Homo-oligomer: A and B are copies of this chain.
């Protein structure tokens, strides 16, 4: 382990900060205490997937529900598990009575400080339509967990963008939970 040179800020944005350490550039979030991603499985054995428009990529992306923790004024210390419940409800309309930690790891360790904390949501109750946060347009899919690989492969071959983290979460629940 080398001694770390000092970190300098190249640009302070409203949500992201571009940093430099030595010659290495990377980005960090300024208004969140974490990122959560939720693999939600209904009592019928369906995985909930969403598609939403993502401005960086300029198109719809197939994902599991996910979002920032502690990014709302007055809730800066929001626990990750509470953020997972909130994001699942906002993006899908489902409340999860059971929310289990699966794993936490970096999403792109060369590019960003971001780590993603994965949860498995079960004992779901559909409370109402997905509300979003006012800016999100979301299409929801419920796919039997035994068919989800084929469903995703077909979407991918049809030219849809599929988020890497779906497969991270699916591997973890197969391995840790046996679903």
Verify if A25 is at the interface (C-beta below 8 Å from B).
yes
Q: Are A175 and B149 in contact (CB under 8 A)?
A: yes
Contact string against B for A residues 10-24, beta-carbon threshold 8 Å, 1 for contact and 0 otherwise: 110111101111111
Contacts A57-B106, A161-B106 given; does A25 touch B16 at CB 8 Å: yes
Question: Chain B interface: which of A48-56, A72-80, A89-97, A119-127?
Answer: A48-56
| A58 contact set on B, CB distance < 8 A | 4
Verify if A165 is at the interface (C-beta below 8 Å from B).
yes
Q: Are A105 and B162 in contact (CB under 8 A)?
A: yes
Q: Roughly how many angstroms separate A176 CA and B157 CA in the complex, as a whole number?
A: 13
Instruction: State the majority secondary structure of interface residues on A.
Output: mixed
Question: Which residue on chain B has the smallest CB distance to residue A52?
Answer: B109
- Give chain A's interface residue range (CB within 8 Å of chain B): 35 or more
Show 24 A/B contacts (Cβ-Cβ < 8 Å), sorted by A: A10-B11, A10-B18, A11-B11, A15-B25, A16-B25, A16-B26, A16-B111, A21-B55, A54-B109, A56-B110, A56-B112, A57-B115, A103-B156, A103-B162, A105-B156, A105-B163, A105-B164, A106-B163, A106-B164, A107-B164, A108-B116, A153-B176, A167-B171, A171-B174
Binding site for B on A (CB under 8 A): 1-2, 4, 10-11, 13-16, 18-29, 53-58, 60-61, 63, 66, 103, 105-116, 137, 149, 153, 156, 161-165, 167-168, 170-172, 174-176
